Chain A
Amino acid sequence: MRGFATLLRREIALAWSSGGGPLMALAFNACAVTLLPLAAGASLDKLKLLAPGFSWVALALASLLSLERLFERDYEDGALDLLALGPLPLELVAAAKCLAQWLCTGLPLALFAPIAVTALGADPRLIPLTFLCSAIGGLGFAFVGGIGAAVSLGARAGGVLIAVIVLPLFTPLAIFGGGAIMGLAEGLDWTSGLLFLSAYSLVWVALGPFAMAWACRNALS
């Protein structure tokens, strides 16, 4: 447990140190959210309909940003080799990295999501559910994205490749998360969307580290 905590602290420190990582993701999210009214017209009545859905798209894309550096940085300077040989199982190493990714990128984005959704004209009563869905969805984005990052270690095309691999796996998060918020906005059932979102995220919290460790061992061999 101490090893896990130490690694977690290291990952969080690294995320904050290199150019203010979470702040970059927040800035990206803000820019993406700004693009929608600029592109689709500023009428709040129209934007209100799209607000939950588009804020999820922005959340998914912002989560993609820091995925490339999740394992790549340690892979390139040899730290991943040491971590693989160390006392902590590689599965827990992967889980620590993804958890740090969620704490440093996912949760800040989840805190920003209600602001984004309200700025796009949505009803303020959506705010609690938006935060909850974005936080749980962020967990899913971190762990599923981690699988994509681990699997493309050593690949040439980098960032866009990870996006192509990972976005199809993000779709259930978008469907259920966005669906839950849209459901509440339209007065329909929102609980099932939230439950399926949580289920999907937790499945990948449980299974993702095994896939990531497998992929890391493959890349290191």
Chain B
Amino acid sequence: MITVLANPQRFLAFSRVAAPTLGAIAVLLAVAGLWTGFSVPDDYQQGATVRLMFIHVPADFTGMLAYACLAGSAFFGLVFRHSLADAAAKAVAPLGAGFTFLGLVTGAFWGRPMWGAWWVWDARLTSFLILFLLYVGYMALQAAIDDETKAARASGILALVGAVNLPIIHYSVVWWNSLHQGETIFAAGGSKAAPVYLWPLGLMAFAYLFCFGALWMARIRGEIWRRRAGALAVQGAR
């Protein structure tokens, strides 16, 4: 599928239909997720604030997935020297940073009633903040180099170097004594969360996923059109 979509013309034709479709599905899933989220009973320990889980957890997971997409696009751009991969990497960075920021903020709102602190410097939160800083560094580097191709390659190398952070974030609750919730959903021996909470969480997770897909495709389209407009401007200036 990736090689089929590698042709920019075919990608534009595909995403013209796919992006709005994914967006519509995302809206439906989000509505369903929020509806079930508000109708599940309160948690015996956390009360009503457990519902923040349905916004916080998918945001965190999407932020990490976006970085994996960034590293993957960067890899394709560096190895196969494909400009669409470069465009995809440039497009996903602000999206990923946005989801990561959302995760940090909603996590703080959840932590205040639960832990009594807006922020703690434990392994999971710190490594997640570093993920956000890696996005910022990527975007800063790409903005600072004038030549677009060189900028894409240089920041691609940076993205690959920073990808080492992803397993650290994921396993931080296993490797360190963390205040953050440990492995719950995919824990060995079955999920430790109550099944009634898994439905809204799953719906919201897919909603975020489809939303991310739709927005990413829209941003890649924008990037393609911007490059074409730039090329036309250069041609017209002659």
Contacts and interface: CB of A to CB of B under 8 A. Distances in A.
A-B pairs with lowest CB-CB distance, top 6: A155-B144, A165-B137, A168-B133, A218-B153, A157-B144, A168-B130
Interface in A138-187: 147-148, 151-157, 161, 164-165, 167-169, 171-172, 175
Nearest to B176: A175
Interface in B99-147: 126, 130, 133-134, 136-137, 140-141, 144-147
B155 interface: yes
A154 B155 CA distance: 12
B192 to A, nearest CB: 28
A153 to B, nearest CB: 8
Interface stretch (B33-41, B157-165, B219-227): B157-165
A214 B144 contact: no
Give the interface SS of chain B, mostly helix, strand, loop or mixed: helix
Contacts of B180: none
Interface of B: 78, 126, 130, 133-134, 136-137, 140-141, 144-147, 150, 153-155, 157-158, 160-162, 165, 168
Nearest to B155: A151
Contacts of B141: 151-152, 155, 161, 165
B161 A211 contact: yes
Given A152-B144, A161-B144, A164-B133, 7 more contacts: A151-B155, A155-B141, A155-B144, A157-B140, A214-B78, A218-B150, A218-B153
A111 interface: no
Contacts of A83: none
A219 B146 CA distance: 11
B137 A164 contact: yes
Contacts of B144: 152, 155-157, 161
A169 B133 CA distance: 10
Contacts of B78: 214
Interface in A76-97: none
Contact of B154 (A152, A156, A157, A175): A152
Contact of B157 (A161, A175, A211): A211
B86 to A, nearest CB: 12
A173 to B, nearest CB: 12
B157 A214 contact: yes
B85 to A, nearest CB: 15
Interface string A13-52: 0000000000000000000000000000000000000000
Given A155-B144, A155-B145, A211-B157, A168 B150 contact: no
Contacts of B162: 168-169
A172 B167 CA distance: 13
Contacts of A168: 130, 133-134, 137, 162, 165
Contacts of A214: 78, 157
A164 B140 contact: yes
Contacts of B153: 215, 218
Contact of A154 (B130, B136, B150, B157): B150
A186 to B, nearest CB: 15
B156 to A, nearest CB: 9
Contacts of A175: 126
A138 B154 CA distance: 24
B87 to A, nearest CB: 17
7 contacts: A154-B150, A156-B145, A161-B141, A165-B141, A168-B130, A171-B126, A211-B161
A89 B224 CA distance: 36
A38 to B, nearest CB: 25
Contact of A164 (B130, B136, B145): B136
Contacts of A215: 153-154, 157
B167 to A, nearest CB: 12
Nearest to A161: B144
A184 to B, nearest CB: 19
Contacts of A147: 157-158, 161
A188 B211 CA distance: 47
A214 B126 CA distance: 30
Contacts of A151: 141, 154-155, 157-158
Given A154-B147, A221-B150, A171 B158 contact: no
Nearest to B130: A168
